Chains A and B, each alone.
Chain A
Amino acid sequence: MNQPMTIDDLERLVGVEFPVGEFTIEGYEHWLTTDAIGSPPLPDDVAHPMYAYYAALGGMGLTLDELFAMVGSAAADGPMFGEAGLEFREVMRVGETYRVEGRITGVARKTGKRAGVFDIVSFELRVVDSSGAVAAVSTNSFVFPRRTA
């Protein structure tokens, strides 16, 4: 367990921007991905809509370990995926490179009968195309056990 953070410390993270990253939808990776997930046939250069997620998480400007450390946790603490949301604004294209911007959007501390104290940290990733248009928005939350909070 990393250093526990107070809820005030966590709330100060809301709005903090991640470093900007980028993600390129490589043709061979897209082929392998659509094969692995059993995608229906897609037009030649059209990326599977799940690339809104794959590009966001794959291209965000910090690693998950760095994100966990930012909120005073680590992979060994057993953080769990909570919810995932995708907003599809533009069709994403195979071969395109997208900029990925991100920020923490919310924190909440809760207590469960069995789970004890845990924090829910939400973050948003915007996938931006080369024209500057937001192609997709990925919102995610992680649940962090806080046995020592």
Chain B
Amino acid sequence: MRVSAGTELPVFEVGEVRAAAMKTMAVLLRDPNPIHFDPDVVAALGMGVRVINQGPTNMAYVVNMLVAWAGDTARIRALKVRFLDNVRAGDRVVAGGVVTSVAGEGRHRIAECDVWLDVVGGPRALAGSATVAVETGEAAGETPAK
């Protein structure tokens, strides 16, 4: 695989966002917001009937995509996101991205990427940009991911 502007990153898919995982993360993050674990509160707030995923977990799905693509956590240099919409229990989500530029000389180069997280059949939940180090191949302007 080679990397250049326009290269699409392999998607990372979560087949079903689990309410149980939200409960685990609520404890680990010491996040008392009941919209992550109590569907009655979600309903009372007029936000539907399904509990709402933590924003950082949505961000983590994008990081998972970058880790799987880069093959080494050390190659992920930066990530910036805006939270656009909610992900709910039972949703299927897909993290994706595309390389917008590759900069630098020699063997080690830096790829700038647009990244996102989409709810399948629903809204874009998150959008942003990522910076990932990639190793170059011999061909000028093209770079193998690993």
Residue tally, chain B, CB below 8 Å to A: 29
Q: Confirm or deny: A8 has a beta carbon within 8 angstroms of a beta carbon on chain B.
A: no
Contact-size category for A:
20 to 34
Known: A36-B21, A53-B56. A86 touches B64 (CB 8 A): no
Q: Confirm or deny: A115 has a beta carbon within 8 angstroms of a beta carbon on chain B.
A: no
Q: In the complex, which of the residues A29, A40, A53, A54 contacts B64, with contact meaning CB atoms closer than 8 Å?
A: A40
Kindly identify, within residues 1 to 60 of chain B, every residue whose CB is under 8 Å from any CB belonging to chain A: 14, 21-22, 24-25, 28-30, 55-57, 59-60
B76 touches A58 (CB 8 A): no
Q: Which of the listed residues A29, A54, A82, A88 has the most CB atoms from chain B within 10 Å of its own CB?
A: A88
B-contacting 9-mer, from A41-49, A106-114, A118-126 = A41-49
Kindly identify, within residues 67 to 99 of chain B, every residue whose CB is under 8 Å from any CB belonging to chain A: 67-68, 73-74, 76-83
Kindly identify, within residues 47 to 84 of chain A, every residue whose CB is under 8 Å from any CB belonging to chain B: 48-50, 53-54, 57-58, 81-84
Q: Confirm or deny: B116 has a beta carbon within 8 angstroms of a beta carbon on chain A.
A: no
Q: Confirm or deny: A132 has a beta carbon within 8 angstroms of a beta carbon on chain B.
A: no
Q: What separation, in Å, do the CA atoms of A86 and B115 have in the docked complex?
A: 14
Main SS of chain A's interface residues? Answer: mixed
Residues from chain A with Cβ under 8 Å of B60 in the complex: 37, 39, 48, 50
Q: What separation, in Å, do the CA atoms of A38 and B14 have in the docked complex?
A: 8
A46 touches B80 (CB 8 A): no
Q: What separation, in Å, do the CA atoms of A23 and B58 have in the docked complex?
A: 22
Q: In the complex, which of the residues A39, A42, A53, A85 contacts B78, with contact meaning CB atoms closer than 8 Å?
A: A85
A-B contact pairs, 9 of them (CB 8 A): A33-B25, A35-B21, A37-B25, A37-B57, A39-B64, A54-B29, A58-B29, A82-B82, A88-B73
Q: Which 10 A-B pairs have the closest CB atoms?
A: A37-B60, A36-B21, A85-B80, A36-B24, A50-B60, A40-B68, A86-B79, A87-B78, A91-B74, A49-B73
Chain B positions within 8 Å of A, measured between CB atoms, are 14, 21-22, 24-25, 28-30, 55-57, 59-61, 63-64, 66-68, 73-74, 76-83
Chain A positions within 8 Å of B, measured between CB atoms, are 29, 32-33, 35-40, 42, 46, 48-50, 53-54, 57-58, 81-88, 91
